Amino acid sequence: MPKSRKSNNPRRKRGSRKKMSFRALFEKRNRKKLIVLASAALVTIVIAVIILAYAFKSYHGEGTVIYFPADATKEAVGDTLHNRLGEFGDRTFSLWKKLGGKPDRAFGAYRVSDGQSAAKLARRICTATQSPVKVTFNNVRTLDNLADRLARQMAFSREDFLAAADSVLSAEGYKPEEYPAIFLPDTYEFYWTISATTFVNKMLDQFHSFWNDERTAKAKVLGLTPVEVSSLAAIVESESAKLDERPKIARLYLNRLKIGMRLQADPTVKFALGDFGLRRLMGRHLQVESPYNTYRHAGLTPGPIRIPSKRTLDDVLNAPQHDYLYMCAKEDFSGYHNFAVDYPTHMANARRYQAELNRRGIFK
């Protein structure tokens, strides 16, 4: 029986080694590809995380509002963001540019709140998604004063406002001297970019809303129009800073109007003179010729001598009944007044006050 022998065929061994080498090479190449793909994916993830962290990093600080005027350039947008928001503003500007932001589209006011991301702010500026701003005016004497106040808070100019007021209100049948009655002091919300004409129309809507059926009926009982109530309220508000005394003063003037007695209100003379700082009126002051001088002309002034508050308008409409016809500032300079039903009592009150003016050296 022949002995078994191991194969000594060199071809078989070489083929087997060659076959194993191709398999190893294939696996090795696949491992390299997987490593490269994994590395690329990791780099992509890292870059994405960095971009997201950059874009969505939040603003931390007090809430603020940033404004971009209609004629802002791209550089101006960047400067505003940098000056108001620092590094966060720089990040917002960079994202805004990448989003294709256009300066003319940025026109508006944008509130930046704690926790807001740069990406969100950039998108809002790109799409002109503005924030409403609070507009406040009170303690305003004239329409010119109001124009200046509004021009500091809104995008339109004082000239735009005055022109719009004349255009809108004259078309509604109001005279220029009556315009102040339409603007009721308060805090309102508007978009900063609102036109002056739209603003005036909205104020007119507020005026009509305030003068509802109930208030209009009360004014009618007094024999006054809404504008006339405003004219009287303006005098009352100018006479006293004491809120609790104004309803009493309002009834005093209503009593005078009822019997046809001249109002003889000192604030109307100051308005006629254009000198609101006068502390003591002399005989020469009372002679100034003006339809606003209630010492010379009977009835109410042609229009309000200031823009009265809603509260003072209601003080006139709800003035408590009494018989006083005279008033004089108290000699203790408390800001309150002495009231009188008859002239002799009033003159006694006036002499005490004048004596105190003399003692204090107040002659004008």
Summarize the confidence of residues 123-133 as an average pLDDT: 95
Q: Do 203 and 82 fall within a single domain?
A: no
Q: Do 143 and 111 fall within a single domain?
A: no
Q: Which of 184, 210, 236 is the last residue of a domain?
A: 210
Share of the chain above pLDDT 70, in %: 84
Question: Count of CB atoms within 10 A of residue 240's CB?
Answer: 19
Q: Quick check: is 254 in a domain?
A: yes
What is the C-alpha to C-alpha distance for residues 113 and 88, in angstroms, rounded to an integer?
Answer: 12
What is the C-alpha to C-alpha distance for residues 103 and 88, in angstroms, rounded to an integer?
Answer: 19
pLDDT recorded at residue 142: 94
CA-based nearest residue to 202, from 219, 184, 178, 180 = 184
Counting the structural domains of the chain, the total is: 3
pLDDT recorded at residue 59: 85
Q: Quick check: is 34 in a domain?
A: no
Q: Which of 178, 194, 210 is the last residue of a domain?
A: 210
Q: Do 217 and 354 fall within a single domain?
A: yes
**Which of 220-224, 275-279, 321-325, 353-357 shows the lowest mean pLDDT across its residues?**
275-279
Question: Count of CB atoms within 10 A of residue 200's CB?
Answer: 24
pLDDT recorded at residue 1: 47
Q: Do 170 and 158 fall within a single domain?
A: yes
Q: Do 122 and 140 fall within a single domain?
A: no
Q: Answer yes or no: is pLDDT of 245 > 80.
A: yes
Q: What Rg value do the Cα atoms of the chain yield, rounded?
A: 39
Q: Do 247 and 337 fall within a single domain?
A: yes
Q: Do 142 and 180 fall within a single domain?
A: yes
Summarize the confidence of residues 45-49 as an average pLDDT: 46
Q: Do 170 and 274 fall within a single domain?
A: no
Q: Answer yes or no: is pLDDT of 47 > 80.
A: no
pLDDT recorded at residue 28: 61
Share of the chain above pLDDT 90, in %: 76
More confident residue, 204 or 283: 204
Q: Quick check: is 17 in a domain?
A: no
pLDDT recorded at residue 306: 97
Q: Answer yes or no: is pLDDT of 349 > 70.
A: yes
More confident residue, 235 or 32: 235
Q: Are 154 and 194 in contact (CB under 8 A)?
A: yes
Summarize the confidence of residues 310-315 as an average pLDDT: 98
Q: Answer yes or no: is pLDDT of 7 > 90.
A: no
Q: Quick check: is 202 in a domain?
A: yes
What is the C-alpha to C-alpha distance for residues 216 and 225, in angstroms, rounded to an integer?
Answer: 8
Q: Do 284 and 226 fall within a single domain?
A: yes
Average model confidence (pLDDT) across the chain: 88
pLDDT tens-digit series, residues 55-112: 457 888 888 999 999 999 999 999 999 999 999 999 999 999 999 999 999 999 999 9
What is the pTM for the complete model shown? 0.81
Q: Do 289 and 222 fall within a single domain?
A: yes
Number of helices and strands (H, E) in the chain?
A: 14, 6
Domain holding 159, by residue range, is 133-210
Summarize the confidence of residues 106-125 as an average pLDDT: 94
pLDDT recorded at residue 359: 86
pLDDT recorded at residue 11: 52
pLDDT tens-digit series, residues 176-226: 999 999 999 999 999 999 999 999 999 999 999 999 999 999 999 999 999
Summarize the confidence of residues 341-362 as an average pLDDT: 90
Q: Which of 153, 186, 210 is the last residue of a domain?
A: 210
Instruction: Assign 345 a pLDDT band (cuts: 50, 70, 90).
Output: very high
Q: Give the SS3 label for residue 71.
A: coil
Q: Quick check: is 16 in a domain?
A: no
Q: Quick check: is 3 in a domain?
A: no
More confident residue, 32 or 302: 302
Q: Quick check: is 52 in a domain?
A: no
Summarize the confidence of residues 27-45 as an average pLDDT: 58
Q: How far, CA to CA in Å, does 191 sit from each of 27, 108, 130, 153, 187? A: 67, 8, 7, 11, 13
pLDDT recorded at residue 52: 47
Q: Quick check: is 97 in a domain?
A: yes
Q: Do 301 and 202 fall within a single domain?
A: no
What single-letter amino acid sits at 45? I
Q: Do 253 and 198 fall within a single domain?
A: no
